Amino acid sequence: IISKLPGVGTTVFSVMSKLAADHNAINLSQGFPDYPCDPHLVELVNKAMKDGFNQYAPMPGNPFLKETIARKIENLYQVKYNPNTEITVTAGGTQAIFTALATIINPGDEVIIFEPAYDSYAPTIKLLGGLVKTYELAPPTYAIDWDMVKKLFTANTRMIILNSPQNPTGSILSEDDMRSLIKLIKGTDILILSDEVYEHLVYDGQKHMSVMLFPELRERSFIVASFGKLLHVTGWKLGYCLAPEQLTTEFRKVHQFNVFSVNSAMQQAIAEYINNSENYTGLTRFFEQKRDYFRHLLSQSRFELLPCNGSYFQCASYSKISKEKDTDFSMRLIKEFGVATIPVSAFYQKATDYKIIRFCFAKENSTLQMAAEKLINV
């Protein structure tokens, strides 16, 4: 057959997690917690199953869950989303991204992405016949020069994908960034896909700049969220997409034939769980402590830590340690030192050689400590 995605192999997350298992290495590569979620949440799933939530959920999502999401958003951001017309529950952030792109992108449409980028964006755009326009961010700050972004605009620019906090860099967008973006897209019909799956993981008292806080952006944005990150259950693959009614109507036309609806019992359980905001308000502090602990541990190593303002990823330069490419270096880290990481070049489409790797610190402190004991010998 003729491949629709020539040049695309197996995602780096699967590859690195398998290598970690094969070599019995500590897995700081793929982003997922190695500790259990709240047992109460699991009990709520059991309860939902006993209560009969075992058949198809309504296509756009469990009504109670959508209402709970709307309340959570209003409490956090003082913005109203209508649960009936503007919130759709999805099979994780990934499906929300895929469906939003499939809703909008026609062959020849251009989508601007900021690399290093989460690895699903570019292949999804290409699969739909769209063209990826890349703005390459550079370490250590990964800052955006918006005048340069404007240079990527053409008559075919259809969408811009934002991701703050950003995977893999841990950088966040500031209010100034958002104001620059507003100016840039004023008078255009460019839409925004804002991947905010790490919305709660913004550190040092900084505020998460959701696009929903800016009416000029909110009116043209799909916002993607993930319960995997919020509740330490990446394997449940549940999330949601927020968008104004007109966009949501079109999104749901695709969603209904993409998955129709998603896991019913888990939706009900999550609704009951997050109905109590105490079940997630400690999340920022929880991960901030892990970030601080991991950075402290690695301060004794030869790695140079990049800033980490958000997400549960810490990037580090190894240029003082080795001249190897990051793919070779991370292979050697697994084989010789027993620690799996992600080479950041995997998040760029073109070849790069910044000598940076990504660690995930959503792990038990004991795991981080064991990893650090190995990493200080590198």
Residues in contact with ligand GLN by CB under 6 A are: 11, 13, 30-31, 167
Site string for ligand PMP, 19-48 (x = CB under 6 A): ------------x-----------------
Among 197, 217, 265, 266, binds ligand PMP (CB under 6 A): 197
Select the residue whose beta carbon is closest to ligand GLN and give its number.
Answer: 31
157 vs 341, beta carbon nearer ligand GLN:
341
How many residues form the binding site for ligand PMP (CB under 6 A)? 14
Q: Among residues 83, 228, 310, 343, which is the contact residue for ligand PMP, using CB under 6 A? A: 228
Picked from ligand PMP, ligand GLN, none, the partner binding residue 195 (CB below 5 to 8 A depending on kind) is: ligand PMP
Considering beta carbons, is residue 149 or 162 the nearer one to ligand GLN? 162
**Contact range with ligand PMP by CB under 6 A, out of 36-44, 90-98, 292-300, 342-350:** 90-98
Write the secondary structure of the chain as one string of H (helix), E (strand) and C (coil).
Answer: CCCCCCCCCCCHHHHHHHHHHHCCCEECCCCCCCCCCCHHHHHHHHHHHHCCCCCCCCCCCCHHHHHHHHHHHHHHHCCCCCCCCCEEEECHHHHHHHHHHHHHCCCCCEEEEEECCCCCHHHHHHHCCCEEEEEECCCCCCCCCHHHHHCCCCCCEEEEEEECCCCCCCCCCCHHHHHHHHHHHCCCCCEEEEECCCCCCECCCCCCCCHHHCHHHHCCEEEEEEHHHHHCCHHHCCEEEECCHHHHHHHHHHHHHHCCCCCHHHHHHHHHHHCCHHHCCCHHHHHHHHHHHHHHHHCCCCCEECCCCECCEEEEECCCCCCCCHHHHHHHHHHHHCEECEEHHHHCCCCCCCCEEEEECCCCHHHHHHHHHHHCCC
Choose the binding region for ligand PMP from 58-66, 87-95, 246-254, 357-365 (rule: CB under 6 A): 87-95
197 versus 247: smaller Cβ distance to ligand GLN: 197
- In the complex, least distance from residue 324 CB atom to ligand PMP, rounded to whole angstroms: 26
Q: By C-beta, is 30 or 95 nearer to ligand GLN?
A: 30
Query: What does the alpha-carbon distance between residue 206 and residue 177 come to, in Å, rounded to a whole number?
Result: 14
Minimum Å gap between C-beta 196 and ligand GLN is 13
Q: Choose which of 29, 167, 264, 349 interacts with ligand PMP (CB under 6 A).
A: 167
Q: Are strands 221-226 and 191-195 parallel, antiparallel or unpaired?
A: parallel
Residue 61 touching ligand PMP (CB under 6 A): no
d(CA 124, CA 101): 7
Q: Is 86 in the site for ligand PMP (CB under 6 A)?
A: no
Task: State in angstroms the smallest separation of the CB of 196 from ligand PMP.
Answer: 9
Task: Verify binding: residue 171, ligand PMP, rule CB under 6 A.
Answer: no
Among 33, 61, 83, 92, binds ligand PMP (CB under 6 A): 92
Q: Is 341 in the site for ligand PMP (CB under 6 A)?
A: no
For residue 349, state whether it binds ligand PMP (rule: CB under 6 A). Answer: no
Q: Which member of 33, 130, 239, 343 binds ligand PMP (CB under 6 A)?
A: 239
* CA angle 330–199–157, rounded 5-degree value: 85
Residues that bind ligand PMP (CB under 6 A): 31, 92-94, 118, 163, 167, 195, 197, 226, 228, 234, 237, 239
